[in-house]
Amino acid sequence: MSEFKEKYGPWAIVTGANAGIGKAIATELAVRGLNIIGVARRQELLDDLQQELSEDYGVKVRTIRADLTDMESISKIELATSDLEIGLVVPNAGVEMSGEFIDTSLDANERMLRLNVHAPMQMSKVFGAKMARRGRGGILFISSLFGYQGIPLVANYAATKAYILSLGEALNIEMKRHNVDVTVLSPGLTDTDMPANMPIDFSRMPIYAQHPEQVAKTGLNALGRKATVVSGLLNKFYAWENRFLPRSFPVSLFGFLIRHAFKEETVAKQTATQS
Ligand SMILES: NC(=O)c1ccc[n+]([C@@H]2O[C@H](COP(=O)([O-])OP(=O)(O)OC[C@H]3O[C@@H](n4cnc5c(N)ncnc54)[C@H](OP(=O)(O)O)[C@@H]3O)[C@@H](O)[C@H]2O)c1
């Protein structure tokens, strides 16, 4: 048995496993021999994942259809997996929200907080406690380069990611005595549906997109080695340089870059559909 599987197997829960970075993480975990519990809302994509991973890598796959903005959803996942030994949790599912904060819908902001903040907090607590009792396991949180400083026009999303970064780096230390590895992966721009649907023309910013597969490998390779990891060289630079500058500088810089790249007509439409 590989060292990775011994430490973090036999089962891993990945939320948002049916698309984007979550699907890439679930696939990389299957390559490493872990059985997967995939959580998301779109059942047909979960079914595809189940078929692909079991046929291609011979691992067991269970799917749980759940809307993680529902406060009861984590208890549902706990119940549905009570017969399994969960060695790794990846609370990956997340959504973004862009636009002038005061113009965005309060309800949509609250749902984003439940998905991006509340669900990962609850999952890491519930399954982290089980891992601590067992004396083994791992949690891979997904933050963002946007979590390293405030980001005007993506303010509340960036704040949710700052929460994850802070929670994860503290738990990295706290959970060491239980032999549970905690790492926070911060992707930069990654080629998934999320940025494709954002009202921002990222080609107008000095950043480049990575493939989800690269990002997934960066995160899983850092597990047990680092508290935090930023994916991509240029992204690492952005996260690193802002430690040496007055905090207002990177915030203003990102504010300038994002405003310049904003597709105003899209955000007007998005705000209209949110309210
Ligand atoms: N892509 C980027 O540039 C980027 C950069 C930095 C950080 N990130 C972070 O990486 C993570 C994954 O993002 P991504 O780019 O892979 O996004 P994505 O392609 O849009 O995928 C989002 C995943 O989350 C699931 N999901 C969304 N809302 C959900 C809900 N209410 N309940 C349960 N599942 C839900 C989706 O499945 P269903 O719709 O079927 O539920 C899907 O599997 C997020 O936490 C994001 O903040 C992404």
- Sorted by where each begins, the domain ranges of the chain are 3-274
**Token code pair at residue 212:** 């989800």
Q: Which entry of 157, 163, 208, 238 is annotated as an active-site residue? A: 157
Per-chain mean pLDDT for the chain? 95
CA proximity to 16, closest of 267, 215, 152: 215
Structure confidence at residue 265 as a pLDDT band (50, 70, 90): low
What mean pLDDT is predicted for residues 66-78? 97
* pLDDT(22) > 70: yes
Say whether 157 is catalytic.
Answer: yes
Question: Model confidence over 187-215: pLDDT tens digits?
Answer: 999 999 999 999 999 999 999 999 999 99
What is the per-residue pLDDT across 93-128, written as a single tens digit (0 to 9) for each? 999 999 999 999 999 999 999 999 999 999 999 999
Residues 81-113 as b/e (b if ≥16 CB within 10 A, e otherwise) read beeeebbbbbbbbbbbbbbeeeebeeebbebbb
What is the pLDDT confidence band of residue 266, given thresholds at 50, 70 and 90?
low
Distance 109 CA to ligand 1 centre (A): 15
Q: State which ligand 1 atom lies nearest to the alpha carbon of 24.
A: 16
- Please name the fold of domain 3-274: Rossmann fold (3.40.50)
Work out the pLDDT band at 157, boundaries 50, 70, 90.
Answer: very high
Q: Is 200 in the pocket of ligand 1 (CB under 6 A)?
A: no
SS (H, E, C) 92-130: CCCCCCCCCHHHCCHHHHHHHHHHHHHHHHHHHHHHHHH
What is the length of the chain?
275
Asked whether 115 and 41 are in contact (CB, 8 A), the reply is no
pLDDT at 84 over 90: yes
pLDDT band at 263 (very low <50, low <70, confident <90, very high): confident
Distance CA 63, CA 52 (A): 13
Tell which atom from ligand 1 comes closest to the C-alpha of 116.
Answer: 45
Tell me if 67 CB under 6 Å of ligand 1: yes
Q: What pLDDT digit, counting tens, does each position of 228-258 carry?
A: 999 999 999 999 988 899 999 999 999 999 9
